[in-house]
């Protein structure tokens, strides 16, 4: 092994040549075996040639290292359980997420893990997805930025990551087989960009394919997705690994670009590959390419020693900091921060049994757990704390628990209700039936707040919940998410003002389920789910519908206030090859230090294809002392102004005016300026035989050659149907009617007046427009 490693762990061309040499020395059987796992968590070694095994482990917010490589659900080794992705994204803090990644990498290395399976960057298409707690956002820019930071942090330690689940894995219902039917623009603008950002900017060692089908083809066999887009267009150099059990046909998966199947052993899969090569059904070059990619990662991992220890106390402190930064103060009628209350009623079993992580493959064995009740006692001073269970662990309704809580609340100066969405409502493996808390929890909140106006609700959940039944009766709501093992202390920090809340929502909280973008198409039927809302998920949808929401994307309160001023752009006019620098001053106008998230949205005033009203294209988190002002600067590149054009098969930024919107949330735009963009890219002509008259007139290349023909047509139409200024002549506006007709069809009606057949005339115009 030493010789093999030393021959490969060089750089550049030498390393490639060394791997190619090993591949030439491998038998067909060894190559086929390498492309399928040895066990649940390891790849197949080739001891004869000194090729070691690679060890993978579940993530993404902790290392779920199972000591027995053959077991999937065995107890894992202790590791730090950081807040889940929904909480991490709500920090909007890139440096903090990178620090989490580095800590996770250190723990993975100490626990003998080469590749950590995460992060997950699937979009929160619907808040009903049971696995939303593992995903960052409804917005691809925010999700991609978080993923880049996470991957950079982990891989700085010599541990690889696995970007997942590629792609359109946005529900748990029938996730192993559902056919996600997504149009090209939605795929390119919503569901792929976070993956693209992570791949091109952070270069993850591996990408994990999703279980589901995408537009009729399993993601594990999807050549366009795995090869054309991921490997060729984005330049991905790592290996593509299956989600565990996502492969249906090993030969088709190899041909589709799936390099490594997990888990193993799968002797029948290996044999199928061998037989396909021998029969000529599988080109051995395809197998060699998969082998090369796997070997490159195996030997890269082998360069970094594993084992040792990690600083559990420091990582716990980091987890507490992340949880505190990610908690979102949704409502506050002056009750927070708590100011020396004499008696505090603490209600809800989650105060004693914290709900700090989700169920499923990401479930971590924590190194320690902060109990919210105990952490509150440490900060409460001389206050008397009264605890009530509040609600049962089951779906049962127990009025006695509510009655007990009401009595405690009546006798207190403030009531803190810990309401955790239970695992039977939210988990990997199944979707949520609704957006509500349990009926018992809703009844509890209403009953307590009816007798105690100073009621604070602390939520533990992985995605949006509805609150319309009870929010008007409570004084404050703190979204604490699944806040990780140190979240109990972080809750106390925020409630008592040790930490000024600065989290902002990375997803919209709707008023009700029926308002959500995917509602009428979710979860699908007869094995397929249509993404009928297209581009319009999250705040993009609510903007388009002009629909009120409970709490908008980007919302989050503070114990201080901020003022925005002096917005300036680096230029008033740019081309599609320029960048634009946006600067704005932010001032802390309140009494305490705090942090604000400055959000930059872009609005295209006019475009040839329908676009969302505005889209997040940049953000920055800034810390400010009372009275302090800082300038925040954000750079916008070409893609900030562009949309994906299915006709051109590329990203396009068109001529025109773009509004730069500076907001404290998607619904709280503070400042606006306009920049004019001039397009310089030489785009091909898209006109064809079916193009309408309007298409011809709107086309940059088509209009000059078509204009003389158009004027003749107008004259003939006027002669036939009467003057254009008399639309009542036949009950319609003939010009509008004509504009929507294909040019060829319209000319067929005028064939007797044409010097040659309409088909020839249109074909000649097309040749001129296309420059042929």
Catalytic residues: 243
Residue 330 and residue 555 in contact, taking contact as beta carbons nearer than 8 Å: yes
Which residues contact residue 21 at a Cβ distance below 8 angstroms, ignoring those fewer than 6 apart?
7
Where do we find the tokens 């009903």?
Answer: 128
Q: How far apart are CA 708 and CA 6, in angstroms?
A: 73
Residue 113 and residue 306 in contact, taking contact as beta carbons nearer than 8 Å: yes
Q: How far apart are CA 323 and CA 319, in angstroms?
A: 6
Where do we find the tokens 């002392």?
Answer: 625
Beta-bridge partners for 581: 635
Handedness of CA 447, 449, 455, 460 (dihedral sign): positive
Where do we find the tokens 């009928």?
Answer: 532
Q: How far apart are CA 459 and CA 609, in angstroms?
A: 40
Q: Helix (H, G, I), strand (E, B), or coil: what is residue 163?
A: strand
240-to-39, 153, 224, 273 alpha-carbon distances in Å: 17, 21, 13, 17
DSSP class of residue 190 equals: I
C-alpha 38, offset from chain centre:
31
Q: Give DSSP secondary structure letters for 193-241.
A: HHHHHHHHHH--SEEEEPSSEETTEEGGG-HIIIIIIIIIIS---SEEE
Burial annotation 733-772 (CB, 10 A radius, 16+ → b, else e): ebeeebbeebbbebbeeeeeebeeebeebbeebbeebeee
Residue 371 and residue 352 in contact, taking contact as beta carbons nearer than 8 Å: yes
Length of the chain: 772
Report the chain's C-alpha Rg in angstroms.
Answer: 29
Where do we find the tokens 């206050």?
Answer: 383
**How is residue 384 written in tokens?**
């008397």
Q: How far apart are CA 484 and CA 503, in angstroms?
A: 15
Which residues contact residue 510 at a Cβ distance below 8 angstroms, ignoring those fewer than 6 apart?
127, 435, 464, 466, 516, 542, 549, 550
Residue 410 parent element (H or E) = helix 399-410
Residue 8 and residue 299 in contact, taking contact as beta carbons nearer than 8 Å: yes
Q: How far apart are CA 382 and CA 498, in angstroms?
A: 17
Q: Give DSSP secondary structure letters for 327-377.
A: -EEEEESS--S----SEEEEESGGGTS---S-SSTT---BS----HHHHHH
Residue 488 and residue 374 in contact, taking contact as beta carbons nearer than 8 Å: yes
How many other CB atoms sit within 10 Å of the CB of residue 682?
A: 7
Give which of 570, 653, 542 is closest to 604, Cα–Cα. 653
- Region for 756 from its dihedrals, namely left if φ exceeds 0, alpha if ψ lies in -120 to 50, beta otherwise: beta
3-state secondary structure 257-317: CCCEECCCCCHHHHHHHHHHHHHCCCCHHHHHHHHHHHHHHHHHHHCCCCCCCCCHHHHHH
Q: How far apart are CA 286 and CA 289, in angstroms?
A: 5
């Amino acid at each position: 092994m030493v010789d093999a490693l030393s021959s490969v762990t060089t750089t550049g061309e030498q390393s490639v040549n060394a791997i190619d040499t090993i591949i030439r020395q491998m038998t067909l059987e060894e190559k086929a075996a390498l492309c399928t796992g040895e066990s649940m968590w390891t790849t197949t070694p080739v001891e004869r040639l000194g090729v070691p095994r690679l060890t993978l482990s579940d993530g993404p917010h902790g290392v779920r290292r199972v000591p027995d490589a053959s077991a999937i659900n065995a107890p894992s080794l202790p590791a730090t359980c950081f807040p889940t992705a929904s909480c991490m994204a709500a920090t909007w803090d890139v440096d903090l997420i990178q620090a989490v990644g580095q800590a996770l990498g250190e723990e993975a290395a100490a626990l003998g893990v080469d590749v950590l399976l995460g992060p997950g960057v699937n979009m929160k298409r619907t808040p009903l997805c049971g696995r939303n707690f593992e995903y960052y956002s409804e917005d691809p820019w925010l999700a991609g930025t978080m993923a880049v930071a996470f991957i950079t942090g982990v891989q700085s330690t010599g541990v690889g990551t696995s970007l997942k689940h590629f792609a359109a894995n946005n529900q748990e219902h029938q996730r192993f087989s559902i056919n996600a039917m997504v149009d090209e623009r939605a795929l390119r603008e919503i569901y792929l960009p976070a993956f693209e950002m992570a791949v091109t900017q952070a270069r993850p060692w591996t990408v994990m394919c999703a279980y589901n089908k995408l537009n009729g083809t399993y993601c594990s066999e999807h050549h366009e997705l795995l090869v054309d887009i991921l490997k060729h267009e984005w330049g991905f150099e790592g290996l593509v690994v299956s989600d565990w059990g996502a492969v249906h046909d090993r030969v088709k998966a190899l041909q589709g670009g799936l390099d490594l199947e997990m888990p193993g052993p799968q002797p029948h899969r290996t044999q199928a590959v061998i037989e396909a090569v021998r029969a000529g059904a599988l080109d051995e070059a395809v197998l060699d390419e998969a082998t090369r990619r796997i070997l490159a990662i195996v030997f890269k991992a082998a360069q970094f020693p594993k084992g040792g220890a990690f600083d559990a106390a420091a990582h716990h402190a980091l987890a507490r900091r992340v949880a505190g930064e990610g908690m979102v103060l949704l409502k506050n009628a002056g009750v927070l921060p708590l100011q020396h209350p004499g008696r505090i009623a603490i209600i809800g079993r989650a105060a004693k049994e914290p709900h700090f992580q989700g169920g499923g493959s990401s479930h971590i064995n924590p190194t320690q757990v902060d109990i919210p009740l105990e952490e509150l006692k440490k900060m409460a001073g001389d206050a008397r704390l009264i605890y009530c269970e509040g609600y049962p662990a089951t779906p049962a309704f127990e009025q006695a628990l509510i009655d007990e809580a009401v009595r405690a609340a009546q006798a207190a100066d403030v009531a803190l209700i810990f309401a955790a969405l239970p695992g039977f409502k939210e988990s990997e493996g199944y979707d949520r039936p609704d957006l509500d808390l349990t009926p018992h929890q809703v009844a509890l909140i209403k009953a307590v707040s009816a007798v105690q106006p100073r009621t604070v609700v602390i939520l533990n959940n992985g995605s949006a919940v509805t609150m319309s039944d009870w929010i008007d009766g409570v004084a404050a709501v703190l979204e604490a998410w699944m806040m990780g093992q140190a979240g109990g202390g972080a809750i106390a920090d925020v409630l008592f003002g040790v930490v000024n809340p600065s989290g902002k929502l990375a997803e919209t909280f709707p008023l009700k389920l029926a308002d959500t973008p995917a509602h009428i198409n979710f979860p699908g039927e007869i094995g397929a789910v249509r993404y009928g809302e297209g581009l319009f998920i999250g705040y993009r949808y609510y903007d388009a519908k002009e629909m009120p929401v409970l709490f908008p994307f980007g919302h989050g309160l503070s114990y201080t206030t901020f003022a925005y001023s002096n917005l300036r752009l680096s230029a008033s006019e740019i081309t599609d090859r320029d960048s634009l620098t946006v600067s704005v001053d932010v001032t802390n106008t309140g009494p305490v230090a705090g942090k604000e998230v400055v959000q930059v949205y872009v609005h295209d005033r006019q475009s040839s294809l329908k676009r969302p009203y505005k889209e997040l294209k940049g953000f920055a988190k800034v810390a400010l002392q009372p009275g302090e002002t800082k300038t925040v600067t954000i750079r916008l590149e070409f893609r900030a102004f562009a949309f994906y054009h299915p006709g051109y098969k590329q990203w396009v930024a068109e001529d025109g005016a773009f509004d730069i919107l500076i907001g404290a949330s998607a619904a709280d735009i503070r400042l606006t300026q306009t920049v004019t963009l001039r397009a310089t890219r030489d785009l091909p002509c898209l006109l064809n035989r079916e193009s309408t008259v309007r298409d011809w007139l709107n086309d940059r290349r088509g209009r000059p050659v078509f204009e003389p023909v158009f004027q003749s047509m107008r004259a003939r139409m006027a002669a036939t149907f009467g003057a254009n200024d008399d639309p009542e002549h036949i009950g319609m506006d003939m010009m509008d009617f004509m504009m929507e007709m294909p040019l060829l069809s319209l000319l067929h009606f005028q064939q007797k007046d044409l010097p040659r057949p309409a088909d020839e005339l249109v074909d000649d115009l097309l040749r001129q427009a296309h420059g042929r």
